[in-house]
Amino acid sequence: MGEKIVLLDEAGHAIGTAPKAESHHQTTPFHLAFSSYLVDASGRVLISQRAHHKASFPSVWTNSACGHPAPGESLREAVARRVKSELGLTVSDITLVLPEFVYRAEMNGVVEHEWCPVVRASVDAEPLLDRDEVEDIQWRDWEGVKALREDPLASPWFLDQMVHLVKLGKPLTWKQADEKLLPPAIAW
């Protein structure tokens, strides 16, 4: 049956589901997603390059892992599942950072239109990449992550998120945001 995305109204209420693979196109419906920034004990952040053959936003450099919560799945469960499948990592200390992040972006005729809460999570191992999803990774200090904003291959959602994240200081100091600001369609 394939992975399903949760469709949203403008207020963030679930209004149905749709197959993920068939939903990303020129008129992609507004839906639920998430972005994660994985940090190690020294504060380095894992950034990833999306696989070259991906249908949506191939080859762009971005945050650690992105995904779509399944219907009925909490945000923390979705982050743990996706990070494990894409990067082979187990997360801990998941912190909600930007609960209200919404964006729309287009590349090669594919549109993303998502309510995409942003989280930080801790990891303490080296990634094992799923090559269907991830082309490459880099561990960077915060200055190196900020420098990615100048890369023409930086993802549009990463660039939009960084506008907010740089105001919060270094990733290890990011505070837990109010979970009540998440869209009603997902539990923390």
Q: Do residues 159 and 105 lie in contact, with contact meaning Cβ atoms separated by under 8 Å?
A: no
d(CA 80, CA 82): 6
How is 72-93 classified by DSSP, letter by letter?
Answer: T--HHHHHHHHHHHHH----EE
Indicate the DSSP class of residue 157: H
- From the list 10, 66, 73, 77, the catalytic residue is 66
114 is catalytic: yes
- From the list 73, 86, 112, 114, the catalytic residue is 114
116 is catalytic: no
3-state secondary structure (DSSP) of residue 187: coil
Residue with tokens 């869209």: 183
Q: Do residues 65 and 86 lie in contact, with contact meaning Cβ atoms separated by under 8 Å?
A: yes
Please list, in sequence order, all residues whose beta carbon lies within 8 angstroms of the beta carbon of residue 20, skipping any fewer than 6 positions away: 2, 3, 4, 5, 68
List, by residue number, the catalytic residues.
66, 114
